[in-house]
Amino acid sequence: MVSLLALQLSDASVQRYDDATKPDLRAGGYSRDDLVELLAAYGPEGRVAYGVNLVVDTVYPLALAAATVLLAARAFDGRRRWLWAAPLAFAGLDVVENVLLGVATAVHPDVPAALVAVSSPLTQVKLVTFLATMAVLLVSVAVVVVRWWRGRSVRPSA
């Protein structure tokens, strides 16, 4: 929760430089020109804020993936480990994406087309793995709550 709050505050600081959707949240991806234009709109201070945002954004996916894997492990008693794939992929993809976008921000306006050719589709796949992570999280929470509820109702009253 703390990492999510920090990310929200960091997002708000980036939004004041330009209210366009950040590249790492664009489900349709982005072109090199889109990225260069957005980073130019941020200006020097906004690019620094976005760089900080990328660092803060690295903590959130790691925390979400860890929480989801631990909850899924508990919900399914360590079985169904295939459920761990989405959160682990999400965390890994998000970290790599943040590094690539950090490099793009640092070298702006000379963003290599090859970097965007990797980072844009990576963003799209990352967003799919994020949705899958949320599904695993919700199912795991439901299983844990149902088990708790059933266990609670079978206990004799004192």
Contacts 24+ apart (CB under 8 A), 5-9: 6/56, 6/59, 6/60, 7/53, 7/56, 7/57, 7/59, 7/60
Q: Give mean pLDDT, residues 118-141.
A: 97
- Is pLDDT above 80 for 2? no
Query: pLDDT tens, 28-62?
Result: 999 999 999 999 998 899 899 889 889 988 888 99
Q: Is the pLDDT of residue 1 over 90?
A: no
Rounded to 5 degrees, φ, ψ at 125 are -65, -40
SS3 labels along the chain: CHHHHHHHHHHHHHHCCCCCCCHHHCCCCCCHHHHHHHHHHHHHHHHHHHHHHHHHHHHHHHHHHHHHHHHHHHHCCCCCHHHHHHHHHHHHHHHHHHHHHHHHHHHCCCCCHHHHHHHHHHHHHHHHHHHHHHHHHHHHHHHHHHHHHHHHHHCCCC
Q: From CA 30, how far away is CA 56, in angstroms rounded?
A: 22
Q: What is the rounded average pLDDT for all residues in the chain?
A: 89
The model's pTM: 0.84
